[in-house]
Amino acid sequence: MDQGPDKQAAPGSSGITVIIVGLGLGGLTAAIECRRKGHNVIAIDKQKELKPIGDSIGIANNAAFIVRRWADGAVDRRLQAVIAHPDVMAIYDNKGELLVNSDLSGYGRGYGYPAHRGDLAMAFYEHAKELGVTFRLGHQVLEYFETDTEAGVVLDGQRVTADCVVAADGIHSKARGAVLGTDPAPHSSGYAMYRSWFDAGEVAADPETRWILDGAEQNDVTKLYLGQDIHVMVGTAKLGKEIFWMCTHKDVYDVSESWSYPGKIDDALEYIKDWPITAKLEPLLRKTPAERLIDFKLLWRDPLPTWVSAGGRLVVIGDAAHAFLPTSGQGAAQAMEDAATVAICLEQAGKHDIPLALRTMQALRYRRATLMQQIGFETRNQWHQTDWEAVKKDATLLEIPRPSWVFLHDSQAYAYDEFARAADTVRRGTEYTPTNIPDAGVFHRTMDFHSAIAQQARPTNVPTQRAGDKILVG
């Protein structure tokens, strides 16, 4: 039954049972959306308890479309209490000279959810429980399997079966090996990142550090400092109540080494010891509690040849399918688009044709996700190998791209509109030509999102909402 993007099906009405492995933002979205579309859901995670852990993340406008549909907007309203409220990202050189104030339309207030990853995950988790999702926490998936009629996982020696398995188990996915038959190790992007998030109390009390809080009670602050092969971002959240910072740096260790380390502030500062601005940044960074700093590799996998298993009943989504660099600003959003799309494709194909559903989902999503992976590399290179002569002429070159084809895309409406055409190509074994990416030869790193809003150039099936006097495109 075609419920449409905004409608919620009766629980269990599709007759389809879905196992979801991995409960980050992508997996939780899959659990919610599959439940909304009438599927039975068994959600599995190796953690015994889902807790609000992590650091800063941004869910952009294109993925916020999905969240705004949950509980008639109730989840969106809950999130307003925990998100950051930045209007611009101020971009500086390593001397502290302002280059450009980058408009955060598409990410910031009224568009998306820049927030602590844990706060977002807990809001998603609570909503999934409200919908009646069955959770099995504290279980490590040891094996995946599929037959002509079912798929499943092995947990602690027990086989758990369903009509299909959706694996959102991250960059180190075990499911990927089951999909491909082999699983080459990830390789380093050449960079790693220090990340931290902590309470602003001590920062506010110290004259050397409270500069970061200037004006934050009205608009949260985000500042980005650029140097050769390194960038540092510092900012506030929850209107100055919390501090976050991150430092992307060259990675000298082998991928065979641990991919995540407890970070040391002295090591982080060593990377920027020659920056003129470090004298100002160091007192702030030294406020970081030791247990709140990690240094982890930014790993990369080349685009997979397929996201769907040979039998068509196991699919990988999110980082398990397409790892994103943080500079894309789209990693979580693309996992969520995957999740919403797979739920709709299962609804449209029905219990009798699960393989068609998962292969059609891949057709709808593959080229879009792959192109956005590329954008993350391109943005990082703009920051780390900056053409300073070009920047003198046009500092907007340093901004994160905000193309309307990315930020105005409604993945749920697209899945309903395009399912039949994409499914037909899957049945016939022909190539699907997506319309959720720019045409061949069209420059994909545009900045036309803001102007598209101003001109009301949005899809006709996307309503305009208002929150106070702020227009929301979703």
Q: How many CA atoms lie within 13 A of 126 on its CB side?
A: 14
Of 35, 36, 69, 195, which residue is the catalytic one?
Answer: 195
Are β-strands 40-45 and 17-21 bridged in parallel, bridged antiparallel, or unpaired?
Answer: parallel
Query: Which pLDDT score is estimated for 461?
Result: 35
Show pLDDT as tens, one digit a residue, over the chain (474 residues).
567 898 899 999 999 999 999 999 999 999 999 999 999 999 999 998 877 666 678 898 999 999 999 999 999 999 998 888 888 889 999 999 999 998 888 887 788 898 888 899 999 999 999 999 999 999 989 899 999 999 999 998 899 999 999 999 987 889 999 999 887 666 566 778 898 989 999 999 999 999 999 999 999 999 999 988 888 999 999 999 999 999 988 775 544 444 455 778 999 999 999 999 999 999 999 999 988 888 876 665 677 889 999 999 999 999 898 877 666 678 889 999 999 999 999 999 999 999 999 999 999 999 999 888 777 666 766 666 667 777 778 777 777 777 888 889 999 999 999 999 999 999 999 999 999 988 877 666 676 666 666 564 433 333 333 223 233 333
Angle CA(147)–CA(128)–CA(67) in degrees, nearest 5?
105
Phi, psi of 103 (to 5 degrees): -60, 130
Q: Could you tell me the two tokens for 54?
A: 């992590």
Q: Domains in the chain, ordered, with CATH?
A: 17-86+106-184+302-468 (3.50.50.60), 187-300 (3.30.9.30)
Cα separations (Å) of 256 from 180, 364, 365?
21, 34, 31
Query: Which pLDDT score is estimated for 103?
Result: 83
| Owner of token pair 């996307």 | 462
Nearest alpha carbon to residue 94 among 211, 226, 194: 226
Query: How many Å apart are CA 461 and CA 416, to the nearest integer?
Result: 11
Burial readout 106-125 (b: 16 or more C-beta within 10 A, e: otherwise): bbbbbbbbbbbbbbbbbbbb
Nearest alpha carbon to residue 139 among 116, 156, 153: 156
Count how many residues are written for the chain.
Answer: 474
Using CB atoms within 10 A of its CB, is residue 387 exposed (0-12), middle (13-18) or buried (19+)?
exposed
36 is catalytic: no
257: which DSSP letter?
Answer: S
Distance of CA 388 to the CA centre of its chain: 30
Please say whether the beta carbons of 366 and 233 come within 8 A: no
Query: Which pLDDT score is estimated for 91?
Result: 93
Query: How many Å apart are CA 396 and CA 190, to the nearest integer?
Result: 26
